Structures are given as C-alpha cells and as structure tokens.
Amino acid sequence: MEHTWDFSSILASRDLLLVGLGNTIRLGVLCLVVGLTAGLFVGAARYSRNRLINWPATAFIEVFRNTPALVQIMWFFFAFPIISPFQIDAFTAATLGLSLNTTAFCAEVYRGGIQSIHKGQWEAAKAIGMSYSQQMRRIILPQAIARMIPAFMNRAVELMKMTSLASVIAFGELMHQAKAISTYNFNPIETYTVVALIFFIMIYPMAMVVQRVELHLRRSDQ
Amino acid sequence: MTEVLRIENLHKSFGANHVLKGIDLVVEKGQAVVLIGASGSGKSTLLRCVNFLETPSDGRVWLDGTLVGHQSNGAMDYRESDLIPIRSHVGMVFQHFNLFPHMTARQNVMEGPRTVLRLSKAECIERGEKYLRKVGLAEKMDAYPSHLSGGQQQRVAIARALAMEPRLMLFDEATSALDPELVGEVLQTMKDLADEGMTMLIVTHELGFAYSVSDKILFLHQGLIHEQGTPDEILVRPSQTRTREFLRGHATFRLPDAEF
Ligand SMILES: Nc1ncnc2c1ncn2[C@@H]1O[C@H](COP(=O)(O)OP(=O)(O)OP(=O)(O)O)[C@@H](O)[C@H]1O
Ligand SMILES: [Mg+2]
C-alpha cells in the first residue's frame, strides 16, 4: 500500500499537541513527586514493628503493586466517585491512580534500599551514641539513597510512559490529543508517528542519564 | 583504684539459647582486661552487653560507679534515653571495622563529636585530626575507607571511638579480619593505648598480645568465667583442664625462638 506522508495537518494542530505534552509532563512530574514523598512514609510504615502501622502499609503496597495501573486509573474515575462523596475529574483520577501506584513502588524501593545496608552500620552508629533517628539520617539514608537512585530514575522513565494510560479516561495528555487529532484529520499514521517521536525525544535522554548514573554508582561502590 | 566497669550476675539468653550464665567482672581504671574463649562461648555477647548493643536478660551493670538502667520489681528496665549517654562513654571497635563508607577518615572520626556531642565545628576538626594522628594516619585524613588497607581502616575505627573520649574501650576481635601482615600495626596501636592508661576490655585470639598488654585475663567457658588471673597464671600456668585444652589448641604450631 502506498502512503504519501503529509505532516502539514499535524503542524496545523501543533497547539493541541503542545497542550497534550504539557499535560503529560504535568501528570508525570506530579505523580513522581507524590510517589517519592508518600513512598517514604509508607515504606517507613511497612518497616515499623507496630502491626497497626505495618499491616495497612503492607496491604496498600500489595494491592497497588499487584493490579494494573490501567485498572487503578479506571477505578478512580468510574468507581470511586460512586462510592464516595467526591466529584473526580480525569486529571484527579489519573493522578490518584499513577501516584498511588508510584507510592507503592517507591515504598518498596526505600525499604529494600534501607535493608540492603549492613547491620554493622547501624551498630557502629549506635555504638558512638547516636539515637535511632540520627543513625537513620546520618548513616543509613545517605548510603541507602545512593543505592535507590537508579530505581527511582527508572521509575521516572516508566512513569512518563504510563501517563499515556490516562487517555482512556479522556484526560488531555499527548495520547488523547493524538487520538483527537487523528480522528479529526484522518491522519493516524503521521499523528502517532509524531507522538512516538515526542515520547522518544523526551524519554531517551532520561534513560541515558539513568545508564550513566548506574555506571557511576557501580564504579564508586567498589 | 576506681572501678570503671562492674558487672554482677550477668545473664543473656537468645530464646532458648542461654549464652551468659552469671558473669561477674570488674575492670578498674587504667586496666586492660582480656577475654579469651572458644568460638560461640559468648565473648562478643558479653562485650555487647557492656555498651547495651544487647540488652542483658538479667544482672546489673555499673559504669563509673553508676548503675545502668532503672530497677522495677527487682528486674532492670533499660530505656534508650539512658543507654545513649552510656554508649557515648564506651567506645567499641568491631571485627569488621564498620566504618561509614560515605565519609572520609576525618569525617568518620568527627561524626560522633559532631552529631552526638554537638561540639563546635572547630572542636570537631581538632578532635578528628588529633585522633587520626594518634593512630598514625595523619596522611590519610581525606581518604575514603575503600581506599584504605584493612589495618588502616581498623585504626580509623579506633580513632572514631577515641574521638568520643570514652572512659572504657571495647575491642571485639579487632584483628581477626585482617591479613596477617596488617595485624601488627593494629595491635601496636592498641598497646600504645594501654600504655597510656586507657581502660580496655579486649576480646582477642592473639595470645602473645594478650600476654604483653593485659593486667588480667578471663577464660570464658559455657557461659561462665571458668578461670581468671594474671597473664602468667592463665596463659603460662593455667590450673583448669578446660583452659589448658583451649590454650593447647592455640599453640599447636609454634616457631622455635626465632630471631626476627
Ligand atoms: N543476635 C543473636 N541472636 C541469636 N543468637 C545469638 C545472637 N548473637 C549471638 N548469638 C548466639 O550466642 C552464642 C555466643 O555468641 P558470641 O558471638 O557471643 O560468641 P563468641 O564467643 O563471640 O564467638 P566467636 O569467637 O565466634 O566470635 C552463639 O551460640 C550465638 O549463636
Ligand atoms: Mg565474637
């Protein structure tokens, strides 16, 4: 089949794409920030010896890690408003789904990172008279976070890709805008090609940075 | 003589494993006391009960004449807030050094004075340099642990403990993880400390070292102090069969009187 590539209609709808790009970035960055912050608390809760704190955190993590992000987004958009008194727009539903999913992921990274630090580090810190929070702040976290960075950066990359899931609830991110443009102009080939390119240009440098950082950390670990 | 450490009837169990079964021990100011015993006899556990990295199951511990913890219904109650000052006055050196890998030698040594004692920056720097110099590492102040030899790392760990200016130093097999050629420098550092009058409680398998630095040697066996006395009494003329067996195991292969 012959296809004559014609990008003029895309150029004409570039404002729509730019809005989409803006929304994609907004959603991705917000979910990452929420996930990194809330994940620290959920991770700490899961680390707790108190069952009343530990158990809900564990349940939260398991639920969000073992269901698809797409289902979570749909659930927050279609199911949650019915069983709760809140009105929820597409952006809020997408943010809830992706940021809670990211929170669960980050919680596990924090926990794993902290557990990867040898028990001797805690003891050495304790033996010079540090309190638990001093041990954590001065000795454990600085080492653990260095080990967590690659996982967090990989998550950031994944998250940028996952934002496209929000198109199913008609949130105006890149993918949704593309769908609109291609239906209106009958140019799915050009539109989705351009969207793929935009994602690639956005994500590839991030992935390269992750690789660099991983290599650097592996070297300095020796 | 003033007592730095007094332990009475110390017990420690891990579940059903009754490791220490009533230890009595006094360490006086300026003394170097060495603890010997077979693997698993509870030497580390005893040391770790002194700075409360382990909580004793029963018994009493006094540091500088003060009973550690609170008595409640005849048993001892240890609160973290009581133990923190104790730990800051008792230095510990571990078999595997446990230096903080993300800090330079100097930062390792300054960490306690800075975070725990909250000294001024100038004082922390001064202590860092003073104690690194003391262990012979003036040249390595800005090196990270991964760039130091095992012997150097252990000396930094000793400096880190000394920087807290402790009343008592605990050494748990400080040279067991070292290559043979690096053992000497660490033992020398420890001997210098003992000669300066530091009060020390030392677990070691280096019997020659134990003989030359210690004021008193304790042989731990089956959770109890089986025999104790001067280095000559324990290492040269032990009276108990178990002690003799233990020492024989350590002296199976020996050089004739060599001249190095
Ligand atoms: N945290 C712990 N939990 C459970 N059991 C422990 C713990 N620490 C030590 N033990 C047990 O206590 C006993 C004494 O151990 P300890 O490490 O004090 O011996 P040790 O004399 O230092 O031996 P080594 O010469 O091998 O270092 C061992 O049976 C050990 O398994
Ligand atoms: Mg031991």
* Statement: the pTM of the whole predicted model exceeds 0.90: no
**Quick one: DSSP state of residue B258?**
-
| Cβ proximity of B163 and B117 under 8 Å | no
Mean predicted lDDT score pLDDT of chain A: 92
Residue B117 one-letter amino acid: L
Handedness of CA A80, A85, A89, A91 (dihedral sign): negative
The 10s digit of each residue's pLDDT in A19-58 is: 999 999 999 999 999 999 999 999 989 888 899 999 999 9
| Cβ proximity of B57 and B22 under 8 Å | no
Looking at residue B58, its pLDDT comes to: 95
Interface of A with B in 86-105 (CB under 8 A): none
Percentage of residues in chain A with pLDDT exceeding 90? 79
Contacts of B85 in chain A (CB under 8 A): 129
Cβ of A82 under 8 Å from any chain B Cβ?
A: no
**Quick one: DSSP state of residue B202?**
E
| Cβ proximity of A156 and A212 under 8 Å | no
Nearest CA to ligand 1 atom 17: B44
The 10s digit of each residue's pLDDT in A151-187 is: 999 999 999 999 999 999 989 999 999 999 999 988 8
Distances in Å between the Cα of B247 and the Cα atoms of B14, B65, B178, B205, B239 are: 28, 34, 22, 10, 12
List the beta strands (DSSP E) in A80-201: none
B9 CB-near residues (< 8 Å, 6+ apart) = B22, B23, B24, B58, B59, B60
The 10s digit of each residue's pLDDT in A179-213 is: 999 999 888 999 999 999 999 999 999 999 988 98
Look at residue A145 and tell me whether its pLDDT is greater than 80.
yes
| Selection from A138, A144, A141, A116 nearest residue A126 by Cα | A138
Q: How many helices (H) and strands (E) does chain B have?
A: 9, 12
* Residue B37, Ramachandran bin (φ over 0: left; ψ between -120 and 50: alpha; else beta): left
Interface test with A, best of B48, B108, B111 (most A CBs within 10 A): B111
> Alpha-carbon distance A155 to A162, whole Å?
10
> Alpha-carbon distance B191 to B101, whole Å?
27
Looking at residue B231, its pLDDT comes to: 96
The Å distance, Cα A163 to ligand 1 centre, comes to 52
Cβ of A121 under 8 Å from any chain B Cβ?
A: yes
Beta bridge partners of A2: none
Q: Which atom of ligand 1 is nearest to the CA of B95?
A: 27
Looking at residue A1, its pLDDT comes to: 67
Domains and CATH numbers, chain A: 8-221 (1.10.3720.10)
Angle, nearest 10°, between helix axes A174-185 and A188-220? 160
> What is the full per-residue pLDDT of chain B (260 aa) written as tens digits?
799 999 999 999 999 999 999 999 999 999 999 999 999 999 999 999 999 999 999 999 999 999 999 988 878 899 999 999 999 999 999 999 999 999 999 999 999 999 999 999 999 999 999 999 999 999 999 999 999 999 999 999 999 999 999 999 999 999 999 999 999 999 999 999 999 999 999 999 999 999 999 999 999 999 999 999 999 999 999 999 999 999 998 877 777 777 77
Q: Which residues from B are below 8 Å from A when comparing CB atoms?
A: 51, 53, 80, 84-85, 87-92, 94, 96, 98-102, 111-112, 115-116, 146, 157, 160-161, 164
> What lines the ligand 1 site, CB under 6 Å?
B 14, 17, 19, 37, 39-45
> Alpha-carbon distance A124 to A139, whole Å?
9
Contact check, Cβ <8 Å, A142/B53: no
Mean predicted lDDT score pLDDT of chain B: 95
> Alpha-carbon distance B247 to B36, whole Å?
10
Look at residue A222 and tell me whether its pLDDT is greater than 70.
no
Neighbours of B65 (CB within 10 A): 10
> Alpha-carbon distance A177 to B76, whole Å?
69
Helix (H, G, I), strand (E, B) or coil at A208: helix
| Cβ proximity of B142 and B162 under 8 Å | no
The 10s digit of each residue's pLDDT in B106-159 is: 999 999 999 999 999 999 999 999 999 999 999 999 999 999 999 999 999 999
Cβ of A120 under 8 Å from any chain B Cβ?
A: yes
Handedness of CA A63, A66, A69, A73 (dihedral sign): negative
> Alpha-carbon distance A25 to B33, whole Å?
65
Which ligand has the minimum distance to the alpha carbon of residue B53?
A: 1
Contact check, Cβ <8 Å, B102/A146: yes
| Cβ proximity of A25 and A173 under 8 Å | no
> Alpha-carbon distance B27 to B216, whole Å?
9
Look at residue A219 and tell me whether its pLDDT is greater than 80.
no
